[in-house]
Amino acid sequence: MAGVRGAESVAEVLSEQQRKIMSTVLAEEEARREHVVVYLSGAHAYGFPSPDSDLDLKAIHVAKTGDLLGFEVPAATIDRAEVIGGVEIDYTSNELANVLGGILEGNGNFLERVLGRTAFSTSTLLDELRPLVQASLSRRVHKHYRGFASNQLRFLERDPIVKKVLYVLRTALTGTYLLATGELETDVTRLLDHHGFGDARELVGAKRAGERTAADPELLDAWRPRLVSALKGLDDALARSVLPEEPMNVAVLEDWLVETRRSRLK
């Protein structure tokens, strides 16, 4: 299941206006920093985008080494959120070292930027980085996916919409599959049948109709125990995971980072 879609494949799910705005925003941001990857996250990556879904652009950038040596070190995280031409943009970019540290701790948000299939803009650095990150996977990913899914389950009670139900399910199944196989898959529609949740395709259809599609009380009553079972499946996957307890290539990843820094010392 693992793989990365090219920019053309990702753009196929976007409207002409969304593609135009995204290209404009990325051209502006790429003029300011060197991107390793720009990843289209959120509903577009999870398999249930709707026409009113925002463009959740999550990037990794590498700073010029000289900029890191003075008193004023550039911010590790850059955020941009605005509505342009009716299209909601949510752009975040994290500096490479920050990302790699998070990946070694099992941060799924960063892992998905490197290994996810909905990469819109990629670089040769990403080609080098992917196998290193794949080799660094460990059972630490459980903490991220368990925590995120549990939070979304709590949020569901305050905001009972179909999107929240799918967020719990997507996060739990992505984590379960990663622990069980060592492969990252964020598209819930590719995971549902494998984990016995094929009937959730009705939820996917409902969510694709709109971001704020309501989940009525009867639907919530039916899905609460199943979401809890998905979390249990995630916990069970930890015990029998094919992944090691800790990352196995920390030194190799650090050497790669140092060499990348040296090549940008100008």
Q: What CATH number does residue 46 fall under?
A: 3.30.460.10
**Residues present in the chain in total:** 266
Angle subtended at Cα 149 by Cα 200 and Cα 186, rounded to the nearest 5 degrees: 60
- The residue type found at 26 is L
Longest dimension (CA), the chain: 62
Across the range 152-162, mean pLDDT stands at 96
**pLDDT > 70? residue 104:** yes
> What pLDDT band is residue 10 in, cutting at 50, 70 and 90?
low
Residue 265 confidence (pLDDT): 87
Residue 166 belongs to some domain of the structure: yes
Lowest-pLDDT range of 12-16, 47-51, 133-137, 250-254: 12-16
**pLDDT > 90? residue 177:** yes
Average pLDDT taken over every residue of the chain: 94
Residue 245 belongs to some domain of the structure: no
**Strands annotated E in 26-66:** 34-41, 55-62
Q: Give the N- to C-terminal CA distance of the chain in Å, as an integer.
A: 40
Q: Is 163 helix (H, G, I), strand (E, B) or coil?
A: helix
Across the range 135-154, mean pLDDT stands at 98
Q: Answer whether 0.75 is exceeded by the pTM.
A: yes
> What pLDDT band is residue 9 in, cutting at 50, 70 and 90?
low
Domain match, 18 and 75 both: yes
Please give, one letter per residue, the 3-state secondary structure of 110-140. Answer: HHHHHHCCCEEEECHHHHHHHHHHHHHCCCC
Domain match, 26 and 97 both: yes
Question: What span, in angstroms and rounded, lies between the C-alpha atoms of 47 and 78?
Answer: 26
**pLDDT > 70? residue 32:** yes
